[in-house]
Amino acid sequence: MPRTARDVVFVDGVRTPFGKAGPKGLYAETRADDLVVRAIRELMRRNPSLPPERVDEVAVAATTQTGDQGLTIGRSAAVLAGLPKSVPGYAIDRMCAGAMTAVTTTAAGISFGSYDVVVAGGVEHMGRHPMGEGVDPNPRFLADKLVDPSALVMGSTAENLHDRFPQITKERADAYAVRSQEKVAAAYAAGKIQPDLVPTAIRSVEKGWGLATEDEPPRPGTTLDDLAKLKTPFRVHGNVTAGNAAGLNDGATACLLAAEDVARELGLTPRMRLIDFSFAGVEPEVMGVGPVPATEKLLARNSLTMDDIGLIEINEAFAVQVLAFLEHFKIADDDPRVNPWGGAIALGHPLASSGVRLMNQLSRLFEERTDVRYGLTTMCVGMGMGGTVLWENVNWEGAK
C-alpha cells in the first residue's frame, strides 16, 4: 500500500564536553567509542519512557573510520551502550557533516515509515586519529587537474575563500572570532550550554581518574590584540590563524529522533520538527562556501526567504566561511539570529560530531524563543560540499 510521509521530530540531544586533541587533551587516554557510548547511555537515561527495544536504528558518524572509530561504530556503540542485540546500527561518513547526515538519513527512514525511533550522532577523536590518517588520495585528482592541491588542506581552502571575498579581511575574521568567544562565555555564565553536556570519565598519567564536565577549548577574554599576534600557518602573510578557526578536537554527540505521533505515544516531548534538508557541492578549493547553495536550494524548495529564518546555527570551521555565508545572504556580521550562544571557534569542532551540537543548541534556543518559527543548522564540508537542515519550532506561538 502507498505510504504517507510522517512528521519527524528531534526529541533530545546530548554531547560529551569537547576536548583539545593531543597528548595533554581531556580525552588523550579515552577511547573514541567510549565517548559515543557515554552519549547514547545518557540519552536513554534522560528518556526513561522509551523502551530500549523501540529504538529501530543507531547511526553514528566518524570521519576516520579506523581503530576505536571503526568496526561499524553505530552497531558496536549500540551493543556497548547496552541496547538490545536486536537493535541494528551502522557507520556513516560525510566528513564534518557526518552527524548531520546521520540525522537526515535516519529521519528520511522515519518519514518513509521504515523506523519509528532512532539514535543518530557522531564521534571524532582527532588526537588518536588525525584528519587524513590512512587516506590515500587518488593521484588523478592532481594529475588530471580535477582539483587544485589546496583543496586537500582545509586551512588553505579558507585562505582561498578570503581571496574570493577580499572584503572579508583578517581583522573582520578576528572580530567575528572574538564575538564567538564572548558569546560562549556568556552562555556558560547563564547556564545555557551545560544542560546537554554528559559528564564523562577521563584518565591521565599525571592526574589519574577525573571527570570532564565542561568544554576545554574556549578561551574567554580573548582580544583582537591577542589574535593579531598569531601566525598564519597556511600562507605567508595570510588571514587564517588558530584564533579565527576551530581547533583540533575530540568529542561525541547523540540525539533521539522519532515520528511525531510515536513520540507522543511514548511520552517523549518533541523539541523541534524537521521540515527539509539539502546538501550541495561546490569547488573543493573553496569548500567553505558550501552552506550557501545548500541553503539556497532548501529555501527555494520550501518557498521561504532568509527573512523567514529566526535562528541560524552555522558551524564555525573558519570565521571566513561563516562571513562568506552572511555576505551572500546580506546578513550583518553581528546579527543576533546567528549562533547566539557562540560556536565552534570557541567550543571546538570534532569533525563528524558537530552537526548534532548545532541541533542541540537550536532546539534549546527554540524553547526560549517561542516567537521564532523556523531555524537552520548549516555547515561546510570537506572536498567541497555544504549541508543545511530546516527546522520548525514545535512551541511556536503562532501555531496556537
- At residue 373, φ and ψ (nearest 5 deg) are -95, -50
Radius of gyration of the chain (CA): 20
Cα–Cα dist 93/63, whole Å: 5
Residue 220 grid cell: 574567554
255 flagged as catalytic = no
Q: For the CA atoms of 31, 35, 38, 39, what is the dihedral angle to 10 degrees?
A: -160
349 flagged as catalytic = yes
Residue 379 grid cell: 555547515
> Which regions of 103-226 does DSSP assign to beta strands (E)?
117-125, 200-204, 208-212
Q: Choose among 101, 156, 114, 121: nearest CA to 6.
A: 114
Cα–Cα dist 371/396, whole Å: 6
| Partner residues linked to 280 by β-bridges | 386
Who's near 309: CB < 8 A, 6+ residues apart? Answer: 299, 337, 374, 375, 376
**Catalytic residue (choose from 96, 125, 129, 255):** 96
Residue 263 grid cell: 513520540
**Catalytic residue (choose from 129, 162, 255, 380):** 380
Q: Choose among 280, 337, 332, 282: nearest CA to 314.
A: 337
Query: Are 388 and 294 a contacting pair, CB within 8 Å?
Result: yes
96 flagged as catalytic = yes
**Catalytic residue (choose from 125, 129, 162, 349):** 349
Who's near 265: CB < 8 A, 6+ residues apart? Answer: none
- Concatenated DSSP letters for 24-66? TSTTTTS-HHHHHHHHHHHHHHH-TTS-GGG--EEEEE-SS-S
Tell me the C-alpha to C-alpha distance, in Å, between residue 347 and each of 99, 183, 225, 356: 17, 10, 21, 13
Cα–Cα dist 335/328, whole Å: 14
- At residue 387, φ and ψ (nearest 5 deg) are -140, 140
Task: Write down the residue that cell numbers 518557498 correspond to.
Answer: 303
Q: For the CA atoms of 351, 352, 353, 358, what is the dihedral angle to 10 degrees?
A: 80
Cα–Cα dist 73/70, whole Å: 6
The catalytic site residues sit at 96, 349, 380
